[in-house]
Amino acid sequence: MTESAHRSDDVAWTDPTCPVARTLDLVGDRWSLLIVRDAMDGAKAFSDFQQRTGIARNILTDRLRRLVERGVLDREAAPSGRRQVYTLTEAGRDLFTVVVALRQWGERHAYAPGEVHSVLVDERGVPLPELRPACSLGAPADLDTTFLRKDC
């Protein structure tokens, strides 16, 4: 088990052999992913997350606790010692591609043509290219060119 791997004895897995199901069991609810998104955008304090998401305090408290327990966020005292701050762990930072994929799916399917929305850009101010899976040879991969192999 890697350092960022999650112990399986404290989660009731929906489908223990499926990585998609396990990921959703760990971070798949709406609020958890929005907290991760906001942490990626620089939110650190409880009030940052609450202001950006509009989430109720009790739900935010629960989701932050779970994300810390599940190794997605770290929690530590702020330099002032008056509050806690949250930062993404390596596992949390690894969700960047997932968040970008969700964003890009939403840009394609959740907005009418021409409807205004935020845009994720690189350090030069250019929108990121569309994420697309590739096979081992670099060619595009899709539902017709992949299959599920169950390793035991």
| Residue 151 DSSP SS3 | coil
Mean pLDDT of 129-138: 95
Tens-place pLDDT, residues 8-37? 567 889 998 899 999 999 998 999 999 999
- CA-wise closest residue to 100 among 60, 132, 53, 55: 132
The conformation of residue 131, written as its DSSP 8-state character, comes to: P
The secondary structure of residue 45, as a DSSP letter, is B
Residue 133 has pLDDT above 80, yes or no: yes
Contact 22, 16 (CB under 8 A): yes
What pLDDT digit, counting tens, does each position of 68-118 carry? 999 999 999 998 888 999 999 999 999 999 999 999 999 999 999 999 999
The string of DSSP codes covering 49-113 is HHHHH---HHHHHHHHHHHHHTTSEEEEE-TTSSSEEEEE-HHHHTTHHHHHHHHHHHHHHSS-T
Percent of the chain at pLDDT > 90 equals: 84
The CA distance from 69 to 64, in Å, is: 9
